[in-house]
Amino acid sequence: MTNFDLLLQQTINGLSLGAMYALLALGFTLVYGILELINFSHFNVFMVGSFIAMYTLQMFGVSGQNIILTGLPLIGVLLVAFAVTMLGSGMIGVVIERVSLRPLRNIKGPAAMITTIGVSYILFNIVLLTIGADSKNFPNPLPPAQIDIGGAVLRLREVLIWAVSFVLMVGLYYFVQKTKLGKAMRATAQDPEAARMMGVEVDRVIVTAFFLGSALAGAGGMIFGLYYNFTSFIIGFTAGLRAFTAAVLGGIGNVPGAMVGGVIIGLIEAMTGQYPGTAWSDVIIFGILVLVLVFRPAGLFGRLAPNKS
Amino acid sequence: MITRRAAAQVLASASLSAAVLAAVGSATLSPARAEDKTIKVGISLSLTGADAHSANLIANGAILAIEQANAAGVIPGYKVEIMKLDDGTATAGQYDPAQAATNARKMVSDKDVVAAIGPQMSGAGKAMAPILSQGDLATITPSSTNPDITNPKFADQYRPAGKPIYFRTVTTDAFQGPNMANYMAEVLKVKSVYVLDDSGAYGVGLADAFQAQAEKKGIKVMGRDRLDPKAADYTAVLTKIKQLNPDALYYGGVLQAGVKLAKQAYDIVPNMIKAGGDGMYGPELLSAVGYPANEGWYATIASPHLSGSDKVGEFSRLYQSRFGEQPDDYAITAYDAGLVIVDAIKKVAASGKPVTRDAVRDAIQTSKVPTLQGTVSFDANGDLADRTVSIFQIKQDKAAKADDMDKQYRYIAVAPQS
């Protein structure tokens, strides 16, 4: 494997990681943009989503990595699994908003954010207590197809991650920019009071944001399982920390920023794994974050909100 | 027709007689003897997290030994109670040294606890040893292999009160790591290796010991890297290893990182020789990793291989009927640890002295107890006198259940001593 091949391979690795972080960061940044709320439970919705995906795939008879599907059955199974996962995760998000956050909507201060921390732990422990602590073998019906590019390898699962993430991100972008509800979301993000005065149903917008964000998190969870062939109760924490960093790096509340931030963090993680070594990954990632925030406090794409006087 | 009053009287007198009979009956039915004194044995294992399944197998081995002793009345006048504690936490996803220290303090502060079994992991052991030392509470570990804890060089750190309190029914990584390096060099003819650890106390120590011996045996160590057990993605470091193309990969660490490493290594470097220590010897490698990703992995354990053999057939049958699954080798060492403790308490009680922690510790130190793994005795530091390291390799046995430790981990040999 030549040095160029190595660089290419690590870039492929980094982009796949980045796509996952971007998906996670997106849902997270959506909620922040509208509610100015850091939703810590987002990453455990991601984890729950991966389990929903696992059980859905198992219902189709796919278990382990030995049962392989191709063509139409493969696409069919994956589509259904994605749909079920995204719907299930979305519903969890809606329930979280309705039960734990709506009553706190008008209370200033960190009450809502701390509530999301609590919800995060509840999800985490429910899964731990019911499903158990060991890693689970995630069912994967993808055939082990791959293309060799020189000495680097591009596997079907990488293409799948990029394709799904791309479709979801474009879909979200289209939704936010072109649809009426999307416009309502942007209006609410800009100024909830004014939006309400303009006739926007702010409650509905918020529920939609939670649903969409959680659905994206669930999709991320299923992709995680398909890529790594495993899932466990703890995957929310590490992926969550990186995705949170990606969202902040890109400018929290900013949708394209979250996508770019995710890809950047993914690439950094892959490159630092190669060159100084994985022990340095966290140091370098957070070092870069601090540097960016010093010079651009609102993140790469963010704009400092004007003082709401 | 009986009047209501008469019925009430009959009812009252019937109840009264029943109560009297019961009291008299119980007094005469149970033998008149002094109450058995209760003493406790603490068991601290990683029952939450990635190693929970292995921890359960170990716990059950220890519990079986104590239950049998109680049932057979091996220690007249005493009943041994088990205090089961968990040093795994959800946030860590595996053993948590802080939780282990809390468990140690709990055991030390309970006057009835005279001995302990555990911990399972050396990271927990390092946290517990100083506390146990100051509480003069001896523990026998069935699986913790980091040599520092019993090394006299580090006595100030791990046994500040002076006397050894950390005993083992397994040998240490001072032999587990190097002996695998010997096997790689002499039998597998490996010329180059890449070493990984999981940043835990056990993993780093094991990887260091392996690496030092590998260099001595002429194997080129192409690099050394650290895995974060909480991170999901090891593709970057595996890609680096793929490019360097060593003959073999050695992983020192436990399952939280090990499961992910096995899965991803299969995708990226499927044909490399892969080996790990006893951290990679567990049912999770069969269930969570599955075929074909775990095929061909070598794993060592720091004890002789006994599970599944006729020598322990009777024990395996009892274990199976009591707990519903087959014991693994560390369940056997845990059972043996239980036997040693029971024997020590028996010796102290028989000598007429009060059963105190101090006396039990001294009795453990001078043990020569016949157990499933042979006669167990300890050296001056608390280490097991016997130094056998066994090597296994996972080779799929389609006829057996996928998570049958016995059938899927093929026993290879005792690892060559240096």
The conformation of residue A38, written as its DSSP 8-state character, comes to: -
Identify which of A133, A238, A272 has the shortest CB distance to residue B50. Answer: A133
pLDDT band at B33 (very low <50, low <70, confident <90, very high): very low
- Residue from A2, A5, A17, A134 to probe the interface with B (highest B Cβ count within 10 Å): A134
Mean pLDDT of B275-304: 89
Peptide bond preceding B160: is omega within 30 degrees of 0, i.e. cis?
Answer: no
Q: How large is the average pLDDT for residues A87-101? A: 94
In this structure, chain A runs to a length of: 309
Global pTM reads 0.79
| CA distance linking residue B165 with residue B361, whole number of Å | 7
- The chain A residues in contact with chain B (CB within 8 A) are 1, 5-6, 9-10, 13-14, 16-17, 64-66, 124-125, 128, 132-137, 151, 155, 224, 228-230, 232-235, 237-239, 269-274, 277-279, 281-282
Instruction: Work out the number of other CB atoms within 10 angstroms of the CB of residue B118.
Output: 33
Q: What is the DSSP string of B40-106?
A: EEEEEE--SSTTHHHHHHHHHHHHHHHHHHHHHT-STTEEEEEEEEE-B-TTTSSB-HHHHHHHHHH
- pLDDT tens, position by position, A245-291: 999 999 888 888 899 999 999 999 998 888 887 778 888 888 988 89
Round to whole Å and give the CA distance between A63 and B169: 39
Tokens coding B21: 């009979």
- Chains A and B form CB pairs within 8 A to the count of 120
Per-residue pLDDT at B2: 54
User: Residue range A74-84: average pLDDT?
Assistant: 92
Residue B312 in tokens: 């322990």
What is the per-residue pLDDT for B35?
A: 65
- Using a CB-CB cut-off of 8 Å, the residues of chain B touching A124 are 90
Is the bond into B119 cis (omega within 30 degrees of 0)?
yes
pLDDT at residue B26, as a whole number: 43
Pairwise CA distance, residues A9 & A274, whole Å: 10
Nearest to A234 among B52, B93, B199 (CB): B93
- Say which residue the tokens 């649809």 belong to: A179
| pLDDT score recorded for residue B24 | 46
User: Taking residues B286-307, what's their average pLDDT?
Assistant: 88
- Say yes or no: B339 contacts chain A, CB-CB below 8 A: no
pLDDT at B3 over 80: no
Q: What six digits make up the tokens of A97?
A: 């908003």
Task: Decide if A173 is inside a domain.
Answer: yes
Q: Does B225 touch chain A (CB under 8 A)?
A: yes
| Residue numbers in B near A239 (CB within 8 A) | 232
CA distance B294 to B338: 33
pLDDT of the residue at B130: 95
Domain with CATH 3.40.50.2300 in chain B: 37-172+309-376, 174-301+390-414
Whole-angstrom distance, CA of residue A26 vs CA of residue A257: 9
Closest CB from B52, B264, B293 relative to A133 = B52
Domain holding A218, by residue range, is 13-234
DSSP A299: -
From the CA of A166, how many Å to the nearest CA of chain B? 21
| B253/B240 Cα distance (integer angstroms) | 20
Q: Among A234, A238, A272, which would you mutate to test the B interface (most chain B Cβ atoms within 10 Å of its Cβ)?
A: A234
pLDDT tens string B235-251: 889 999 999 999 999 99
- Residue A271 resides in a domain: no
**What are the tens digits of pLDDT across the range A21-31?**
998 999 888 88
B222 touches chain A (CB under 8 A): no
Q: Is pLDDT above 60 for B25?
A: no
Looking at residue A90, its amino acid is: G
ipTM confidence: 0.78
Q: How many domains does chain A have?
A: 1
Å between B295 CA and nearest CA of chain A: 13
User: What does the block give as tokens for A61?
Assistant: 């008879």
A82 contacts A164 by C-beta, under 8 angstroms:
yes
pLDDT digit string, tens, across residues B397-411: 888 888 778 888 899
Q: Is the pLDDT confidence value at A102 over 70?
A: yes
Q: Which residue has the higher pLDDT, B53 or B63?
A: B63
Query: What's the fold here for domain B37-172+309-376?
Result: Rossmann fold (3.40.50)
**Quick one: average pLDDT of A69-97?**
92
Interface residue B236 vs chain A (CB under 8 A):
yes
Closest residue by Cα to residue B63 from B125, B117, B138: B117
pLDDT of residue B16: 56
Nearest chain A Cα distance for residue B63, angstroms:
22
* Residue in A155, A237, A273 closest to B237 by CB: A273
Quick one: pLDDT at residue B328?
87
Please answer yes or no on whether B236 and A271 come within 8 Å at the CB atom.
yes
β-strand partners of B226 = B197
Cα distance from A136 to chain B (closest Cα, Å)?
5
Instruction: Report whether B124 contacts B46 (CB < 8 A).
Output: yes
The CA distance from A192 to the nearest CA of chain B, in Å, is: 37
- What Å distances lie between residue B93 and B9, B42, B90, CA to CA? 64, 22, 5
* Chain A residues with beta carbon closer than 8 angstroms to that of B285: none
Largest pairwise CA distance in chain A: 62
Q: Is residue A264 part of a domain?
A: no
Q: Phi and psi at residue B248, in whole multiples of 5°?
A: -140, 160
Residues of B with Cβ-Cβ distance to A233 under 8 angstroms: 90, 93
A275 in a structural domain: no
Residue B286 contacts A where some CB pair is shorter than 8 Å: no
- Residue B14 pLDDT more than 70? no
pLDDT tens sequence across B138-154: 999 999 999 999 999 99
Kindly report, residue by residue over B117-139, the tens digit of the pLDDT: 989 999 999 999 999 999 999 99
What distance in Å separates the CA atoms of residue B220 and residue A283, rounded to the nearest whole number? 29
Contact A1 B225 (CB under 8 A): no
- Domain annotation covers residue A246: no
Interchain CB contact of B88 with A (< 8 Å): yes
What CATH class has B174-301+390-414? alpha beta
DSSP state at residue A98? I
- Coil, strand or helix at B114: strand
Chain A within 8 Å of B295 (Cβ-Cβ)?
no
